A and B are shown apart, each in its own frame.
Chain A
Amino acid sequence: MHRVLTTCCFCACGCNLYLEVEAGKIIGVIPSREHPVARGNLCLKGWNSFGFVHHKDRLQYPLIRRKKHLVEANWEEALDLVAKRLLEIKERHGGRSLGVFSSAKCTNEENYLLMKFARAALKTNNVDHCARLCHSPSVIGLNNAFGSGAMTNSISELANAEVILVTGSNTTEQHPQIARFIFDALAKGAKLIVVDPRRIPLSRFAHVYLQPRLGTDVIWLNGMMKIILDEGLLDETFIKMRTENFRAFTEILRKFDLKQVEAVSGISVEDLERAARMYAGVKRAAIIYSMGITQHVSGTDNVQSIANLAMLTGHVEREFTGVGPLRGQNNVQGACDMGALPGTLSGYQDIASEEIRKKFERVWKTDLPSDRGLTGIDMLHSVGDKKIQGMFIMGENPALSHPDLKATRAALEDLEFLVVSDIFLTETAEFADVVLPAASFAEKDGTVTSTERRIQRIRRAIPPVGESKPDQQIICELASRMNYSMHYESSAEVMEEIAMLTPIYGGVYYDRLDKGWGLFWPCTNPDHPGTPFLHKGSFARGKGRFEYVVYRPPAEMPDDTYPFYLTTGRIYPHWHTGSMSRRIAALSRERPEAFVEINPKDAKRLGVANNKPVRVISRRGEITVKVRLTDDVPENTIFIPFHFREAPANILTHDKCDPGADIPEFKVCAVRLERVQ
């Protein structure tokens, strides 16, 4: 038996763990004790992260659709076919008719290579990934306010905060290791403010718990800032020295009517005052937020409001403070960093800038398309009118994760040509013309970037299962068949190219990563030590920018026909579309099936009982799912996790998006419930 240190494949906490290998199989994991986030323990997902690697459903060879059925094929045949079809579409309709989904589950190197493949070989900027569905508002909102869209401070700093405000993040379930630092802070006497429409487990430890109605974040955030302004709790020196547009911002804020708060959000002014004084009254206060803030049509506004609040009180630019968008997937930060986005190349370098394009063109030895590409949502919206005809989807599963699944699946069905590379035959792969078997995290080398911007290694512990191949190899082999040479000796060599072209990764080399526990970007040159907290002394954009935000309600509100709010999300034992976690025995056993959380009072009115099925119907479709009675959801609000293919919550959700970030409003839509007889 031997052990290989790697980074966990689930959430973006970035725990390092050892894979235990015996006779070519992974038999267990051990957390690293020295790793600053893992600290000798893992969450249940982490402890069982090896459980899907040898599952019999792993794709072991390529599949090609023949007479409506996916049948076994060899690599030559499959790759030749993919190259031929993609080239045909490109020649006939232009590169812009092709779209690429990169993957927050794949490595930095693979994301970089796929976006390079899209831009240099396919000649399209239509490249995106699931950050669109989780933190695109953070990337835009925090970039507008601070100049960088990532977590401002490192995870471990939380332990020394005096006040922590958690909103729209079910931290104990989705980022358990971050919750552990919150518990550490509490043990040292810190105060906790939790603001969440669901009474999440962390709320039991909150000194102030506020329960706003869904989609009213701008209201309570503005209210909180109004209180801070009225009571003079702001940090005037900080505002004067480090920010801009404050005067215009306060002129509008001054007129904000606190009466609105209770009327719209349901939070009493007294409670909000307590929270405001608590947050503004200390030197070291941090904000943690996640998808409860971003997955709204007002997602970018919500993020800007959070940035406003942090700047107003000077709780940013310093150690143990800051704004922390908790990223979901192991490498969603990295996939953004690598430019798997329609408008930016790696390191958030604007594709529209000629100077930037020239830099890449010189190294990539080809010319690049200059217009901003389509977002993931828009790509699928553009299938109907034939603007998008072919797609390459690497390790993503829109057929379960995208909103309004009927429309999403119809779009996947309508594609002229779809190729999917994944480790399992996902719901999306079932629509594919060619399926390419990919290697899992245990079977390849690379790096991933955690939510705290920590770039870390993943290391190959076993050879690829069956005939599967790492995505890096798949992309390169495909490129060479499309007359564009992409050849690398190793993933380390890819990182060298990334470092050459990407200022924030300029000093990231494998030998450095192998020495410590990774590097925090920005790390601009080989001697740069990395940056655990951002904006030290000055914001990345120069001065932090205040921008007043006007409240906009959710796109679809309950009415007489659809009287319930539906909010969707994740649960502790499962992971996104469940393709991995539901194949891990210990995790699947924890939550074998889908459920809907309903307040007992609503259940009584409807006559539905615990554990009994109920029909949930929206304007888009319906699902049948078992009831779970709980007071954790308020009346008139139900919660359904989106992991389960048998009862996909996203059949119900709508695809109205935030105008800036194009993120769908997964957190709010209107439904009705019917008893199943």
Chain B
Amino acid sequence: MPDELILNKEHLTGFLRKIANERELIAPVKNQYGDTLFEIVSCVDDVSLDLESRPVVPPKNFFLPRTEILFNYRHEGKEYRFEEALPDISRVLFGLRSCDLWAILFFDVVFQENFKDRYYLNRRSNTILINIGCHKPMQNCFCKSAQSGPFLAYGYDLQFTDMGDRFFVEIGRPGGRELVEKWDYFFEPVTQKDRNEQYEIVLEAESGFERIVDFDTAVSRFINDEVDEALWEELGNRCQGCGGCAYVCPTCYCFDIADRPVSDSKGERVRTHDACTLAGFTRLAGGYNPRHERRRRIRRRFYHKLAFAKERYHRPSCVGCGRCVEICFGRIDMIHFIRTVCEQPGKAMKASLRLGEILLDAGLISKEELKAALEKQADTGKPIGAQLIEDGVITKEDVARALGIQLGIP
């Protein structure tokens, strides 16, 4: 079986019908209300596939569900009994965009680099991924800048290119080959003309982006701490704390785990999506929050997406799908952010945080109190911490705790 094939469009439904008979088929479906969502397709003939627009939420929910029961527990006498709820289902995800598929590859790294997350891996290893290269990038797409599209060089099981009346099909990982070999009669060999045409389509797609952003400059300014403080202030004011950017982001993987009682003796341990822009995300037991101010949380979010990911995974974790660009209440999206950062003149900013700011961020003192203490400090010459304690604004314990946490001392 060659690595490239042609699937005439009239055979797509037949091919998908075969798949749906054996595995759970998930594909982008435009519903009666006009929304396109990744849906479980039990009958291919009953739905209208939408291969032209971006589904509202990414496919991550099929690997890391919004709410997932990890295990059930029961309290019997003095003992607890546990029953693991490991997922076990074979799936084919058809019609992914390259950005969304790339995001799954990113998840693959995250969910097994230190701790092998069996829940994720069970789902993942049983799923075959078929993407459709974006021959027509949509408004707000910037996967080319993020280097995760519009077509992929690897990582897919099958990659489709829409060539009008037929699909050019590239076979990637073994799962893809398995499907094609099983139902090989739907496919035809490619000609050199097909190859040339496909190449043209890829080139045209790559030149079709309205949105081009400079990740490298943004990352480097981040790493060198050259992002103007005023920008964080502005973004902090604009953020409405909805959490939507994380919920729709294909690479946001943060989760929360909690025990959810079902009755007095039974319960479930559940894992749910979480969002780092929420105050509760970093608040510690006892109420102290090292990122009390929203601007700090916004900073953390962009830091994680750009600089942290670059340092750890050698590339930003944003895949340029454009979802956050479309949904943000306050227009604090990746495109807006990177452009603003790149536009400001580069300059070395102070690197170390001062105690006053640490306390301010933690909400332990107000701006006015800090200002008053700084004014007094100019006369007395005392350290700011001592001045604040003397003024009765804050206790020694609070200062010590805030300092310890900020400096990573337990």
A contact set with B: CB distance below 8 Å: 1-3, 5, 16, 18, 20, 22, 27-35, 39-44, 46-47, 56, 172, 176-177, 179-180, 183, 187, 201, 204-205, 572, 585-586, 589-591, 600-601, 607, 609-611, 629-631
Residue of B nearest to A628 (CB): B363
Give the CA-CA distance A400 to B69 in the complex, in Å. Answer: 34
A585 proximity list for chain B (CB < 8 A): 256, 258, 272
Give the CA-CA distance A183 to B333 in the complex, in Å. Answer: 14
Give the CA-CA distance A177 to B56 in the complex, in Å. Answer: 17
Query: In angstroms, how far is the closest chain A Cβ from the Cβ of B31?
Result: 8
Given known pairs A30-B57, A40-B326, the reply for A586 and B280 (CB within 8 Å) is yes
Query: In angstroms, how far is the closest chain A Cβ from the Cβ of B200?
Result: 32
Residue of A nearest to B53 (CB): A33
B237 proximity list for chain A (CB < 8 A): 201, 204-205
User: Quick check: A34 and B35 within 8 Å, CB to CB?
Assistant: yes
Query: In angstroms, how far is the closest chain A Cβ from the Cβ of B336?
Result: 11
Which of B37, B242, B368 contacts A47 (CB under 8 A)? B242
The contact sample of 15 A-B pairs, CB cut-off 8 A, is A28-B67, A31-B56, A33-B326, A40-B323, A43-B240, A56-B262, A176-B240, A177-B329, A586-B280, A589-B283, A600-B368, A610-B365, A611-B287, A630-B366, A631-B368
Interface centre among B40, B241, B262, B263 (most CB of A within 10 A): B241
Residue of A nearest to B287 (CB): A611
Residue of B nearest to A593 (CB): B287
Query: In angstroms, how far is the closest chain A Cβ from the Cβ of B210?
Result: 18
User: Quick check: B34 and A20 within 8 Å, CB to CB?
Assistant: no
Interface centre among A41, A204, A600, A630 (most CB of B within 10 A): A41
User: Quick check: B247 and A47 within 8 Å, CB to CB?
Assistant: yes
User: Quick check: B272 and A41 within 8 Å, CB to CB?
Assistant: no
Q: Considering the complex, which residues of chain B in the window 270-296 have a beta carbon less than 8 Å from any beta carbon of chain A?
A: 272-274, 278-280, 283, 287
Query: In angstroms, how far is the closest chain A Cβ from the Cβ of B363?
Result: 7
Query: In angstroms, how far is the closest chain A Cβ from the Cβ of B153?
Result: 30
Give the CA-CA distance A34 to B50 in the complex, in Å. Answer: 14
User: Quick check: A18 and B37 within 8 Å, CB to CB?
Assistant: yes
Query: In angstroms, how far is the closest chain B Cβ from the Cβ of A577?
Result: 21
Give the CA-CA distance A600 to B360 in the complex, in Å. Answer: 13
Give the CA-CA distance A589 to B283 in the complex, in Å. Answer: 9
B12 part of interface (Cβ distance < 8 Å):
no
Query: In angstroms, how far is the closest chain B Cβ from the Cβ of A28?
Result: 3
Query: In angstroms, how far is the closest chain B Cβ from the Cβ of A605?
Result: 12
Residue of A nearest to B26 (CB): A1
B327 proximity list for chain A (CB < 8 A): 31, 39-41
Interface string of B1-43 (1 = CB under 8 A from A): 0000000000000000000000000000001011111011000
B189 part of interface (Cβ distance < 8 Å):
no
Residue of B nearest to A25 (CB): B67
Which of A28, A32, A187 contacts B331 (CB under 8 A)? A187
Give the CA-CA distance A31 to B36 in the complex, in Å. Answer: 11
Q: Considering the complex, which residues of chain B in the window 301-357 have a beta carbon less than 8 Å from any beta carbon of chain A?
A: 323, 326-331
Residue of A nearest to B395 (CB): A609
A183 proximity list for chain B (CB < 8 A): 238, 329-331
Given known pairs A47-B244, A176-B329, A631-B368, the reply for A56 and B261 (CB within 8 Å) is yes
User: Quick check: A32 and B56 within 8 Å, CB to CB?
Assistant: yes
Query: In angstroms, how far is the closest chain A Cβ from the Cβ of B385?
Result: 16
Given known pairs A41-B329, A47-B247, A600-B368, the reply for A5 and B240 (CB within 8 Å) is no
Give the CA-CA distance A34 to B35 in the complex, in Å. Answer: 6
Sorted from nearest, which 7 A-B pairs have the closest CB atoms?
Answer: A28-B66, A589-B280, A41-B327, A34-B34, A27-B67, A41-B244, A600-B366
User: Quick check: A180 and B329 within 8 Å, CB to CB?
Assistant: yes
Query: In angstroms, how far is the closest chain A Cβ from the Cβ of B66?
Result: 3
B65 part of interface (Cβ distance < 8 Å):
yes
B400 part of interface (Cβ distance < 8 Å):
no
Give the CA-CA distance A42 to B39 in the complex, in Å. Answer: 20
Give the CA-CA distance A46 to B67 in the complex, in Å. Answer: 15
Q: Considering the complex, which residues of chain B in the window 107-145 have a beta carbon less than 8 Å from any beta carbon of chain A?
A: none
A20 proximity list for chain B (CB < 8 A): 61, 66
Give the CA-CA distance A165 to B37 in the complex, in Å. Answer: 37
Give the CA-CA distance A47 to B330 in the complex, in Å. Answer: 17
Query: In angstroms, how far is the closest chain B Cβ from the Cβ of A202?
Result: 10
Given known pairs A56-B263, A586-B278, the reply for A33 and B56 (CB within 8 Å) is yes
Give the CA-CA distance A20 to B244 in the complex, in Å. Answer: 17
B243 part of interface (Cβ distance < 8 Å):
yes
A18 proximity list for chain B (CB < 8 A): 35, 37
A590 proximity list for chain B (CB < 8 A): 241, 278-280
Give the CA-CA distance A607 to B323 in the complex, in Å. Answer: 48
B45 part of interface (Cβ distance < 8 Å):
no
User: Quick check: A32 and B61 within 8 Å, CB to CB?
Assistant: no
Give the CA-CA distance A244 to B363 in the complex, in Å. Answer: 53
User: Quick check: A3 and B37 within 8 Å, CB to CB?
Assistant: yes
Besides A28-B273, A41-B244, A586-B278, 4 new A-B residue pairs in contact (Cβ under 8 A), listed by A number: A32-B56, A39-B326, A585-B256, A630-B366
Query: In angstroms, how far is the closest chain A Cβ from the Cβ of B178?
Result: 25
Give the CA-CA distance A228 to B256 in the complex, in Å. Answer: 55
Give the CA-CA distance A585 to B281 in the complex, in Å. Answer: 12
Residue of B nearest to A607 (CB): B392
Query: In angstroms, how far is the closest chain B Cβ from the Cβ of A676?
Result: 16
B367 part of interface (Cβ distance < 8 Å):
yes
Give the CA-CA distance A28 to B329 in the complex, in Å. Answer: 21
Interface string of B356-375 (1 = CB under 8 A from A): 00000001111111000000
Query: In angstroms, how far is the closest chain A Cβ from the Cβ of B119?
Result: 14
Give the CA-CA distance A586 to B66 in the complex, in Å. Answer: 12
User: Quick check: B261 and A601 within 8 Å, CB to CB?
Assistant: no
Give the CA-CA distance A16 to B36 in the complex, in Å. Answer: 14
Residue of B nearest to A41 (CB): B327
B405 part of interface (Cβ distance < 8 Å):
no
B393 part of interface (Cβ distance < 8 Å):
yes
Given known pairs A41-B244, A585-B256, A585-B272, the reply for A30 and B278 (CB within 8 Å) is no
Residue of A nearest to B264 (CB): A56
Given known pairs A27-B65, A33-B35, A590-B280, the reply for A1 and B40 (CB within 8 Å) is yes
Interface centre among A29, A44, A176 (most CB of B within 10 A): A44
Given known pairs A586-B278, A610-B363, the reply for A30 and B56 (CB within 8 Å) is yes
Interface string of B140-173 (1 = CB under 8 A from A): 0000000000000000000000000000000000
Give the CA-CA distance A205 to B329 in the complex, in Å. Answer: 14
Give the CA-CA distance A205 to B239 in the complex, in Å. Answer: 12
Residue of A nearest to B24 (CB): A1
Query: In angstroms, how far is the closest chain B Cβ from the Cβ of A22?
Result: 8
B280 proximity list for chain A (CB < 8 A): 586, 589-590
Give the CA-CA distance A609 to B258 in the complex, in Å. Answer: 32
Given known pairs A41-B327, A43-B242, A44-B242, the reply for A631 and B367 (CB within 8 Å) is yes
Give the CA-CA distance A590 to B394 in the complex, in Å. Answer: 24
Q: Considering the complex, which residues of chain B in the window 221-274 have a beta carbon less than 8 Å from any beta carbon of chain A?
A: 237-238, 240-244, 247-248, 256, 258, 260-263, 272-274
Give the CA-CA distance A16 to B31 in the complex, in Å. Answer: 14
Q: Considering the complex, which residues of chain B in the window 75-113 have a beta carbon less than 8 Å from any beta carbon of chain A?
A: none
Interface string of B200-222 (1 = CB under 8 A from A): 00000000000000000000000
Give the CA-CA distance A40 to B368 in the complex, in Å. Answer: 39
Interface centre among B258, B263, B329 (most CB of A within 10 A): B329
A177 proximity list for chain B (CB < 8 A): 329
A176 proximity list for chain B (CB < 8 A): 240, 242, 329
Give the CA-CA distance A22 to B238 in the complex, in Å. Answer: 35
Residue of B nearest to A181 (CB): B329
Residue of B nearest to A32 (CB): B35
Given known pairs A30-B37, A610-B363, A631-B366, the reply for A572 and B256 (CB within 8 Å) is no
User: Quick check: A40 and B56 within 8 Å, CB to CB?
Assistant: yes
